[in-house]
Amino acid sequence: MRKKTRTVGKYEVGRTIGQGTFAKVKFARNSVSGESVALKVLPKATILKHRMVDQIKREISIMKIVRHPNIVRLHEVLESRTKIYIILEFISGGELFDKIVHCGRLPENECRRYFQQLIDAVAHCHSKGVYHRDLKPENLLLDSYGDLKVSDFGLSALLQQGVGLLHTTCGTPNYVAPEVLSNQGYDGAAADIWSCGVILFFIMAGYLPFYEIDIPTLYKKISAGQFSSPFWFSPEANSLIKKILDPNPKTRIQIEGIKKHPWFKKNYLPVKPSEEEVNLDDVRAVFDDIEDQYVSEQSVAKEGGPLMMNAFEMITLSQGLNLSSLFDRQQDYVKRQTRFVSRKPPRDIISSVEAVAESMGLKVHTRNYKTRLERISANKVGEFAVVLEVFEVAPSLFMADVRKASGDTLEYHKFYKNFCTKLENIIWKPTEDVANPSVLRSLTC
Amino acid sequence: MGCFCLKKLGHKPGYEAPINLASETPFTVNEVEALYDLFKKLSSSIIDDGLIHKEEFQLALFKNSNKQNLFADRIFDLFDIKHNGVIEFGEFVRSLSVFHPNAPEADKIAFLFRLYDLRQTGCIEAEELKEMVTALLCENNMSLSEDVVDLIVEKTMMEADTKRDGKIDDEEWKEFVKKNPSIIKIMTLSDLKELTLAFPSFVMNSGVSDLQQPVKN
C-alpha cells in the first residue's frame, strides 16, 4: 500500500476527474473484473469536522437503495483509516445536455426513448420515497449503449458542495417548478415531474420552454406555465407536455398518468429494476465506526430535511438591519422572541414543540418542518395562531423561526414566554451567560 | 393652524421642504411630514440639533446608544449620503424611500448590495460575507467554530458566486436575490405605508391641508 501502486481494495486508482470542497473524484479500475469505476474520496476528518456524518450516510444509503438500470449505480463504500471511498458506476457517454448543445434537437422517437427511461428511473425513486429535486439534462448521462443514466439521486447535498460533474449552467432556474420558485413547501414528486417535462421539451425543441434573459420575466413565465411549442412537436407530444408543465402541482399529471399517455406508451418497454437485496452493511460499517469517535449524534432517518438558510438569509436576522424598530412608537421593549437555535436533530425539535404545544392546549399541525400552533376558544377571546419553522443553518445547527400568524399580540407574548421555558432542553444556549434569561431575548430580531 | 406652528418653530439646518422631498420619492407630502415627526424624535433623543448622530441611530435600533453593530453602521453610512457623519432630514427621507413597499425592487437589491459590499470594492467578497456572518453570530451570542462559519459561507458562495472567482458581483447578486427573495424582505418596511396613521401627530403640524385627515387622537 505504498505510493507506487495506488490501490484502494481491489481498485487501481487513476487520474483525478473532478474535485470539490469535500471530495475528489478519481477514475479507477476494478482489478478483478476490469470494470471502470468512478471513485469518490472523502477525507474522514473533513466529514467529522463539518458534522456531515449523518447527512452523508443518509445520502449514500439512498443511492444504494435506488438501484435502477437508468440510475448511476453505487457499487460499494470502502474506508481506510483516514478516508471514505464511494465506488460509483463510471459512465462514459457524457451528458445528454452536451449532446443537444452539439447536435441540436433530437428526433421525436429518440426523445421518447430517453423520456421513457427518465420516467422509469424517477418513478422508481419516487416509489422509494426519494426525490431528486435537481433534475436537468446535465444530470442525465449517457452510457456507452446510449442508455440514459440519472446521476446524483440522493446526493444533492453533496453535489452542492461542488462534487462530481462540473456544471456550467449552475444556478439557472429554468428547470425549476413554479411551486419551488415561490419558496413554499412543495411536493418533491410533482416538482420532479415538472423538471422531466422541461427536459422533454428541451431535447425535442433544442431550446428551453422557459428562457428569458431577465429573471423576473422568466419567473413570471414559469409561474404562469407560459410557453409555446414549436411546430414540429406532434399533437400527442404536445398534449403530454402541456399536462406536465401545468403550473398547478395539484392538477399536474402524475407518473401514472404519464405512463398511460398514448405518446409515452408508444414502443415502451418498461425496465424491471432488479429486486436484489440491497445490503447497507458496508455503509453502516463505515459510518457507525466514525460515529463512535463522535459524541452520539442521532441520525435523522427521514429523507429530506429542513430548508437550508443561507448566509445572507442569516444576516438579515440582524437587529441592525431591522429598521422597523425606528417606527416603534411604544416604549415597550418586550420584543417578540422570534427565534431560537438548537443543536438537536430537527425531528426532535419538531416533536418537542408539538408535545409542549399540546400540553398547553394548542391545536398542532405539522407539515415537514413547519408547525402551526393554534389556540382556539369558544368565545374567540385570546385566540391566536403561531407558525414555527425549522431551518438548517449549518450541519447539525438549526434555527427555529417563530412568528405570530394571527390573533392577539399580548396573548401571543404571554404564550411565547411560557413556551420557551418549557422548551429549554432543546434550545441551544450560548456558552456563557446561561443563567441569564435575557440571553434568550437577544436571540431575537 | 399647523403652518403657523412650523414657521414659528423654525427649522433646523438640513431641513428640506416636504413638498420637494415628496416629488422625488414615493411618499406623499403628508407622509414626508409624518417622517419629519419621526425624524425630530430620533434626532433629538440625545442632542437636539436636527441631525441624527450615530449614537441616536443606535439608540433607536437597539434602545442602547453604545451598541456597536456592523450592520447598523453600514446602514448609517449609506443613509449619510454626504458622508459628514450625521443623517440630515433629506438624507433620511431619500434613503427610507428605498424601503417603501412601492419602491422599485431593483433599487432595493442595489441598496442591499452596497450595504454588504463592506469595503466598497464593487463586489461582495467571501471575506466580507464571513465577516458579516461572524458579526451576526456574535450579535446573537452564538459562538460557532470558524470551520462551521467557513462552511456556511462556502455553501452560500457556491450558490451565489456562479463565476467562481471568490466574490459576488452585481450581476451574480441580482440572480441570487431572485432565487432567494427572502433576502430583500428587510428592504421593505410596511410601516412606511401607514405613516400618517402611525404618526397622527403630524396632523397638528401639517403645513399642507388635506381634505381627509385621519381623525385619530
The whole-angstrom separation of Cα A362 and Cα A358 is: 5
Residue A394 contacts B, CB cutoff 8 Å:
yes
What CATH number is given to the structural domain containing A385? 3.30.310.80
B211 located within any domain: no
The whole-angstrom separation of Cα A382 and Cα B157 is: 45
Q: Give residues with Cβ within 8 angstroms of A144, minimum separation 6.
A: A92, A93
Q: Are residues B110 and B88 in the same domain?
A: no
A248 located within any domain: yes
3-state secondary structure at position B147: helix
Which range of residues forms the domain containing residue B74?
Answer: 14-99
Q: Are residues A50 and A123 in the same domain?
A: no
What CATH number is given to the structural domain containing A32? 3.30.200.20
Q: pTM surpassing 0.90?
A: no
pLDDT at residue number B213:
40
Q: Are residues A158 and A224 in the same domain?
A: yes
The whole-angstrom separation of Cα B116 and Cα B135 is: 12
The whole-angstrom separation of Cα A250 and Cα A76 is: 38
Do residues A439 and A433 touch, judged by C-beta distance below 8 A?
A: yes
Residue A162 contacts B, CB cutoff 8 Å:
yes
The per-residue DSSP string of A317-344 comes to T-GGG-GGGGG--S--------EEEE-S
Q: Are residues B90 and B123 in the same domain?
A: no
Q: Are residues A161 and A137 in the same domain?
A: yes
Question: What residue of A is the nearest CA neighbor of B130?
Answer: A311
A132 located within any domain: yes
pLDDT at residue number B62:
83
A274 located within any domain: no
Q: Are residues A109 and A59 in the same domain?
A: no
Counts of helices then strands in chain B (DSSP H, E): 12, 4
How far is the CA of A408 from the CAs of A268, A279, B127, in angstroms?
Answer: 59, 54, 43
B131 located within any domain: yes
Query: Which of B38, B136, B182 is nearest residue A326 as measured by Cβ atoms?
Result: B38
pLDDT at residue number B189:
86
Do residues A190 and A254 touch, judged by C-beta distance below 8 A?
A: yes
The whole-angstrom separation of Cα B122 and Cα A13 is: 44
Q: Cell digits for A246?
A: 401545468
B168 located within any domain: yes
B203 located within any domain: no
pLDDT at residue number A202:
93
What CATH number is given to the structural domain containing A103? 1.10.510.10
A272 is in an annotated binding site: no
Q: Are residues B18 and B92 in the same domain?
A: yes
Q: Are residues B52 and B73 in the same domain?
A: yes
Mutation target among A22, A50, A214, A312 for the B interface, most CBs of B within 10 A: A312
Query: Which of B62, B148, B185 is nearest residue A316 as measured by Cβ atoms?
Result: B185
Task: Of A338-347, A371-380, B94-103, give the range with the top mean pLDDT.
Answer: B94-103
In this complex, do A49 and B147 lie within 8 Å of one another by their Cβ atoms?
yes
B154 located within any domain: yes
The shortest C-alpha distance from A394 to chain B (Å) reads 6
A179 located within any domain: yes
Residue B42 half-sphere exposure toward CB, CA atoms < 13 A: 30
Residue B5 has pLDDT above 50, yes or no: no
Strand intervals (E) in A357-417: 363-367, 370-375, 384-394, 397-407
B197 located within any domain: no
Which chain B residues contact residue A157 at CB under 8 A?
A: none
Q: Are residues B81 and B109 in the same domain?
A: no
The whole-angstrom separation of Cα B89 and Cα A197 is: 54
Which range of residues forms the domain containing residue A397?
Answer: 303-318+337-426
The whole-angstrom separation of Cα A147 and Cα A165 is: 18
The whole-angstrom separation of Cα B22 and Cα B94 is: 9
3-state secondary structure at position A416: helix
Residue with cell 477525507: A43
Residue A184 has pLDDT above 70, yes or no: no
pLDDT at residue number A285:
64
Q: Are residues A307 and A404 in the same domain?
A: yes
Query: Which of A162, A324, A442 is nearest residue B189 as measured by Cβ atoms?
Result: A324
Domain count, chain A: 3
Burial of A27 (0-12, 13-18, 19+ CB in 10 A): middle
What CATH number is given to the structural domain containing B132? 1.10.238.10
Which chain A residues contact residue B199 at CB under 8 A?
A: 329
pLDDT at residue number A85:
87
pLDDT for A80-92, tens place per residue?
Answer: 778 888 888 888 8
Burial of A18 (0-12, 13-18, 19+ CB in 10 A): middle
pLDDT for A230-263, tens place per residue?
Answer: 999 999 999 999 999 999 999 999 999 999 999 9
A1 located within any domain: no
